[in-house]
């Protein structure tokens, strides 16, 4: 039965409520209750003293309206769900009880309007429409801006090199910006400037020490890293390694060209040992001219070694000239094939202009 047809129950002028079906004397919160027009609530008209009567529906309308407001605001609307202080720490229960009696909804709204409760938008001085939202903000530390990022506390992982300015400009990172160690103020730029140039050379003002191989226009060094064969450990060598040949098959230790070597008279020196002092030829040292002609060559027999498994130096004197018979375009060191097992181990080879007349084969 429609509500309007129920007599004398204080609901004659019900306006209906689409949100709270039981509060039919008020339209709130979907609509305001007005005194005219489509939202008119006849129970909330102004009444005259000693002339008009207070009807039950008038009181019911006030009660429904008040209850609708309470439902909208909820319980304890003046207190946050999880109250925290300005430092973000939980507020103790005794303080919450005090806030229940003193805090107002207006005070909560004032906090939201007068302070930046969410500092992700730029801090206490943040204002809307200033390009400082989560999507459009800059950490400049200026007025209304977030503070600058602390690289010692707020970032992690290593910066990839594509994010570093490595250009040769005023802003690019170069060797002039980096010190070679923590105990000196010498930069990489200054240190490299004191280095011998590959293209321009330089002057060494103090003793020059070279612990690795040395290659120049008049001298060459070769060690086990340059040889073909089986690498073996050997504490009778400076580098504790040498290269060993096959016991019967031929083994070519090294064949290399004399690129960039001054023309002239040289000696090829090798340090080697054998496991068997066979009577036949066992080791060959030879050169080939730049035009392909055969240069100098010596064949070393097994009996030329003074003892088994003991290193000994052997020498080949040769001439290095351009495109002439007897000249040397490359050199060869190899162990020859043998019918009897006899391994040869090679420690090093070097080429030097020092005249070998003091050596007697």
pLDDT for 135 equals 55
- 8 A C-beta contact, residue 180 and residue 188: yes
Task: Please answer whether residues 267 and 356 qualify as being in contact, where contact means their C-beta atoms are separated by less than 8 angstroms.
Answer: yes
- Residue 86 is predicted with a pLDDT of 72
**Residue 310 CB contacts under 8 Å (≥ 6 apart), including other chains:** 273
Residue 125 has what pLDDT? 59
Domain boundaries along the sequence of the chain? 3-73, 220-358
Say what the pLDDT of residue 277 is.
97
Give the Cα separation of 151 and 128 in Å (integer).
28
Q: What is the DSSP string of 136-188?
A: S-----STTSPPPP-TTTS--SPPPGGGS--SSSSSS--GGGSBSSTT---BH
The two structure tokens encoding residue 339 = 């019918």
Give the pLDDT confidence score for residue 91 in this predicted structure: 87
Q: What is the pLDDT of residue 211?
A: 81
Residue owning tokens 């689409």: 18
Cite the beta strand spans of the chain per DSSP E.
Answer: 220-222, 230-233, 241-244, 251-257, 264-274, 281-288, 294-301, 312-320, 330-335, 344-352
**pLDDT at position 3, please?**
45
pLDDT of residue 4: 46
Ranges of residues in the chain with a pLDDT under 50 are 1-6, 116-117, 360-361
Domain 220-358 in CATH: superfamily? BT2081, beta-jelly-roll domain (2.60.120.890)
Of the candidates 271, 274, 241, 283, the one whose C-alpha atom is nearest the C-alpha of residue 341 is 274
Query: Which residues lie closer than 8 Å to 67 by C-beta, 6 or more apart?
Result: 20, 23
Stated as kind and residue range, the H or E segment containing 107 is helix 105-114
> Order of strands across the sheet with 330-335?
251-257, 330-335, 281-288, 294-301
For residue 137, the model assigns a pLDDT of 65
Residue 1 has a pLDDT of 37
**What tokens does 11 get?**
């609901």
Q: Residue 276, class by beta-carbon neighbours within 10 Å (0-12 exposed, 13-18 middle, 19+ buried)? A: middle
Distance in angstroms (rounded) separating the CA atoms of residues 227 and 347: 9
Interacting residues of 148 by C-beta distance below 8 A, sequence separation 6+: 139, 140, 141
Contacts of 40 (CB under 8 A, 6+ apart): 34
Q: Which is it for strands 264-274 and 294-301: parallel, antiparallel or unpaired? A: unpaired
Contact 346, 272 (CB under 8 A): yes
Dihedral sign for Cα atoms in the order 156, 158, 161, 162: negative
Indicate the SS3 state at residue 60.
helix
């Amino acid at each position: 039965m429609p509500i309007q047809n129920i007599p004398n129950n204080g609901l004659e002028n019900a306006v209906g409520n689409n949100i709270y079906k039981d509060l039919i004397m008020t339209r709130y919160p979907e609509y305001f209750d007005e005194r005219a027009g489509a939202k008119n609530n006849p129970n909330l008209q102004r009444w005259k003293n000693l002339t008009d009567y207070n009807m039950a529906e008038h009181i019911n309308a006030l009660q429904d309206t008040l209850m609708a407001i309470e439902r909208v605001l909820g319980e304890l609307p003046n207190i946050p769900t999880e109250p925290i202080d300005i430092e973000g720490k939980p507020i103790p229960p005794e303080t919450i009880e005090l806030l229940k009696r003193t805090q107002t909804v207006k005070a909560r709204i004032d906090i939201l309007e007068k302070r930046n409760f969410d500092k992700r938008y730029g801090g206490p001085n943040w204002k809307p429409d200033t390009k400082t939202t989560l999507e459009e903000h800059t950490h400049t530390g200026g007025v209304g801006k977030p503070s600058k990022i602390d690289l010692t506390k707020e970032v992690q992982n290593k910066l990839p090199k594509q994010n570093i300015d490595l250009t040769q400009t005023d802003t690019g990172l170069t060797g002039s910006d980096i010190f070679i160690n923590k105990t000196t103020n010498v930069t990489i730029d200054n240190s490299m400037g004191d280095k011998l140039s590959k293209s321009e050379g330089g002057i060494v003002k103090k003793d020059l020490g070279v612990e690795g191989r040395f290659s120049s226009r008049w001298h060459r060094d070769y060690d086990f890293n340059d040889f073909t064969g089986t690498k073996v450990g050997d504490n009778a060598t400076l580098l504790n390694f040498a290269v060993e040949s096959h016991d019967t098959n031929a083994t070519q230790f090294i064949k290399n060209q004399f690129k960039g070597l001054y023309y002239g008279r040289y000696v090829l020196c090798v340090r080697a040992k054998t496991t068997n002092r066979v009577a036949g030829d066992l080791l060959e040292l030879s050169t080939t001219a730049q035009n392909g002609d055969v240069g100098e060559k010596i064949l070393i027999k097994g009996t030329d070694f003074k003892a088994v498994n003991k290193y000994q130096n052997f020498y080949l004197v040769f001439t290095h000239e351009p495109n002439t018979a007897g000249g040397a375009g490359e050199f060869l060191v190899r162990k020859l094939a043998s019918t009897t097992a006899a391994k040869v181990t090679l420690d090093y080879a070097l080429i030097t202009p020092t005249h070998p007349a003091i050596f007697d084969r």
